[in-house]
Chains A and B, each alone.
Chain A
Amino acid sequence: MIDPIVVFVLLLGAATPILFAALGELVAERAGVLNLGVEGMMIGGALAGFAVANVTGSTALGFVAAAVAGMALSLIFAALTQYLMSNQVATGLALALFGLGLTAMFGKPYEGLKAPSMMAGPLGLNLMIWLGLIMVPVTWWFLMRSRAGLILRAVGENHDAAHGLGYPVRRVRIGAIAFGGAMAGLGGAYISIATVLQWTEGMTAGAGWIALAIVVFAQWNPWGALAGAWLFGGVTVLQLRLQAAGVALPVQLLSMAPYLATIIVLVAISARQKFGRSGGGATPGSLGQPFHALR
């Protein structure tokens, strides 16, 4: 039978990569930047983290390297969109493809190797799960309570007004993009170092896209991102368990489940916005728009 506690522990693990990536993207989008390259930054982090962990034997160093790699990839995006004014959607898609291709090339030597094992933390959960959970209130507090978070939200809500008040729109956005990159890198490395324990080409398997969807699902609220990550982590774990338990459902249908759930939730949210209650909506006002300062 399926033990709820076991399922919950597995769920926490399955949710962690998307939670990291979603929190990072959430901050970037709150600053008005739509970075669709989450998948590329995650896979970059997955390879860099795995490689460094494998060579040094330290998973901690691996995660540091993953954050750096994710951030480096995101800074390419930042330079293109913030200085060269390229289109955010196209650049983000390109970054996703770029990350997948780049890691496929450099990842060859690491195929078939094994990752060093993670140290267990309190309650038998590893430290990265704990860090992910801690990042939820930290991100919330930063966005909703700190001065810097207020400025970040202001930049995302109305960049012209923020510029008019003298806030450095571009610098704030670059910072948010870099944070998003580092978080995506950590999420990716969690997959290679803590979940799969090896490197495979394209191993993030769409987690970055799910993270993007979760940001909308969360209505740009960190607690919502946690709920979303748990929901999708839960569906993933459940479908694996159901398969293992030999439930007579086609495997394909079960593997589809998390993605179907994503679509259903997104439709429900936009339907709610269209037909009623929520006034104003939570979408940052300047999301995805390029900012040109006149001097």
Chain B
Amino acid sequence: MTDIFRAEGLGKTYPGVRANDDISLSVGAGEIHALLGENGAGKSTLVKMIYGLVRPDEGHMQLSGQPHAPHDPRAARASGVAMVFQHFSLFDALTVAENIALGMENPPPRAELSRRIAELSQSYGLPLNPARRVVTLSAGERQRVEILRCLLQNPRLLIMDEPTSVLTPQEAEILFATLRQLAEAGTAILYISHKLEEIRTHCDRATILRHGKVVGTVDPRAHSARELAAMMVGAEMKLVDRSGRSPGEVVLDVRALSTHAAHEGVALKNIALTLRKGEILGIGGVAGNGQDELLAALSGEIASAPGTVTLSGADLSTLGPDPRRAAGLLSAPEDRLGHAAVPQFSLTENTLLTAGGRQDIVKGGLVDNTAARRFAEAVIKAFDVRTPGPGTAAGALSGGNLQKFVIGREVLGNPRVLVVNQPTWGVDAGAAASIRQALLDLAAKGAGVIVISQDLDELLELSDRFCALNNGRLSDPRPTEGLTLDEIGLMLGGAHGMEVGHVPA
């Protein structure tokens, strides 16, 4: 195997952080090479250096034997590096064709470009209409735009940053078929992911980073997911403990819950579910199928018709979030910054947002700052939130730490029912495990928990019963025991009009 890309002794220091230290790795032609590591392990810095967004302090890189030192992404693209970003780098208001043209150095005229997009999307089984505006596309379709943008440049090295986090299992399979097809044509692929199982199934080699250093390069097929996780974290992973729970009486009863679609959202259609004490109900679905709306309808941000949301016999349907919290129905929305927490506020101030009433922090219209700080400190301690102190602004915390804080704030509020949306999105493996364990412990103490998530492994790991949310409709629950990923994928609506990619002759 010839090496397409080779890095030797790369290092990068940010003020106060050694982001990359003596990184060496090589990616061969036709290889799908995984880059593994926790958040903050230095994966992003490494790929940004390869893509010309950041310049290394020391070390050098080679691409196809030539020195590779791009001073900006356009130079990197010109030399054959393409990248699919974790957070889509698309322009919502522009069309598919315009988005793709922006990612090319010398785009052909419009008609010619549209023809080539159609042609390429056919040959890879990734159908796309070049004239559609990106804002109207689903997450899976948006990713196709990113991938096609890369493919049109005939890259020698393709970098993919956590591409499957927004895809259904079927869509992920199609993605891997596409990647395999590309690899067979000789492209080197550098693949970043947290998802150990998919790396074990699809990648040829894996380089593991920890604290900015290379831990080792291994054959992922020869190791178990636990061993890989242990290399990432540097310690044995604790398995989540599901024991000690027994479902009790029904605590939350939702019947015939429908909402109107507001602001381009999805309307909930006749949702029915029951949740028992000590039970975890998992709700899966591809983003944009009503997850946010369901959380809002349960938390009280959207009021519904009387009799639709009942907590232990009390009708909460028409009440807002505060009375619902007082009754013991707590929630943690997906968006940490801006929805669950105010970025500019300190952690102490952020506790007030939801725990003000339940923790006796607000009394007679006055804020007890000491009590607020004490509660913030309790959350920080109980959930191992890494922060200088409760006076730190929420926006200054890393995603994982803020998420631990947000979940911890609700868990310590002794909810009767807790609804969480995407509890571990963008959170590193260690923090994700502790958040999941906290949810299980909460259920073990007798609370009912609803976990809305796009991470199916997480839902299978946590929940007793599983429902799928598809275009605002909730499927009947199925016991998680014995449910396979394939069955779940079909419950989620399959691959949303995609055909499986076929290899051209």
Query: Which A residues have a C-beta under 8 Å from some C-beta of B?
Result: 147, 150-151, 153-154, 157-158, 160-162, 164-167, 279-280, 282, 284-285, 294-295
> What's the interface size class on B, roughly?
20 to 34
Q: Which residues does chain A contribute within 8 Å of B75, judged by CB atoms?
A: 166
Q: Which residues of B contact A158 (CB under 8 A)?
A: 89-92
With CB as the reference atom, state the residue of chain A lying closest to B98. A150
User: Is A154 a contact partner of B92 (Cβ separation < 8 A)?
Assistant: no
Q: Which residue of chain A lies nearest to B89 when distances are taken between CB atoms in the complex?
A: A161
Q: Interface code B236-247, partner A: CB below 8 Å = 1, 0 otherwise? A: 000000000000
Q: Shortest 5 CB-CB distances between A and B: which pairs?
A: A166-B73, A161-B89, A166-B74, A280-B135, A157-B91
For the complex formed, measure the closest distance between the CB of A142 and the CB atoms of chain B, giving whole angstroms: 14
- CB nearest neighbor in B for A164: B89
Determine if A284 and B93 form an interchain contact, defined as CB atoms under 8 angstroms apart. yes
Closest chain A residue to B106 by CB distance?
Answer: A147
Tell me which of A150, A160, A285, A294 contacts B102 (CB under 8 A): A150
B409 adjacent to chain A (CB < 8 Å): no
Q: Are B94 and A295 in contact (CB under 8 A)?
A: no
| B52: interface (CB < 8 Å) | yes
CA separation between A166 and B54, bound complex, in Å? 11
Can you pick out 7 interface pairs between chain A and chain B where the beta carbons lie within 8 Å of each other? Answer: A153-B93, A154-B98, A164-B53, A166-B74, A279-B135, A279-B136, A280-B93
Asked if B93 contacts A295 (CB within 8 A), the reply is: no
| CB-based nearest A residue for B14 | A294
- Look across to chain B and name the residue whose beta carbon is closest to the beta carbon of A160: B89
A residues less than 8 Å from B107 (CB atoms): 147
User: Please, how many angstroms separate the alpha-carbon atoms of A151 and B73 in the complex?
Assistant: 15
B264 at the interface (CB under 8 A from A): yes
Across the interface, which residues of B come within 8 angstroms of A151, CB to CB? 102
Q: Report if A164-B73 is in contact (Cβ < 8 Å); known contacts: A157-B92, A157-B94, A285-B92.
A: yes
CB distance A161 to B91 under 8 Å? yes
* Binary A-proximity of B58-101 (CB < 8 A = 1, otherwise 0): 00000000000000111111000000010011111110001001
Does B221 touch A at the CB level, under 8 Å?
no
Residues A166 and B93 in contact, CB atoms below 8 Å apart: no
Known: A147-B107, A164-B73, A280-B133. A157 touches B93 (CB 8 A): yes
With contact pairs A150-B98, A280-B135 given, residues A165 and B89 touching in the complex (Cβ less than 8 Å) = yes
Q: Closest A-chain residue to B88, C-beta based?
A: A161
Instruction: Chain A residues near B89: list those with CB within 8 A.
Output: 158, 160-161, 164-165
B110, closest chain A residue (CB): A145
Q: Is the beta-carbon distance between B90 and A161 smaller than 8 angstroms?
A: yes
CB distance from A228 to the nearest CB of B (A): 20
Binary interface encoding of chain B residues 93-128 relative to chain A, with 1 for a CB under 8 A from any of its CBs, else 0: 110001001110001000000000000000000000
| Residues of the B chain whose Cβ atoms lie less than 8 Å from the Cβ of A147 | 101, 107
Residue of B nearest to A220 (CB): B93
Contacting pair A285 B93 (CB below 8 A): yes
Find chain B residues with CB under 8 A from A167 CB.
102
* Inter-chain contacts of B91 with A (CB < 8 A): 153-154, 157-158, 161-162, 285
- Is A166 a contact partner of B52 (Cβ separation < 8 A)? yes
User: Which partner residue on chain A sits nearest B263 by CB separation?
Assistant: A274
Q: Which residues of A contact B53 (CB under 8 A)?
A: 164
* A165, B325: Cα distance in complex, Å: 44
Compute how far the CA of A153 lies from the CA of B75 in the bound complex, rounded to whole angstroms.
22
Q: How far is A131 from B468 in the complex, measured between Cα atoms in Å?
A: 60
> Which residues on the B side are within 8 Å of A157 (C-beta)?
91-94
Give CA–CA (A151, B105) in the complex, Å: 12
Chain A residues with Cβ under 8 A from B73's Cβ?
164-166
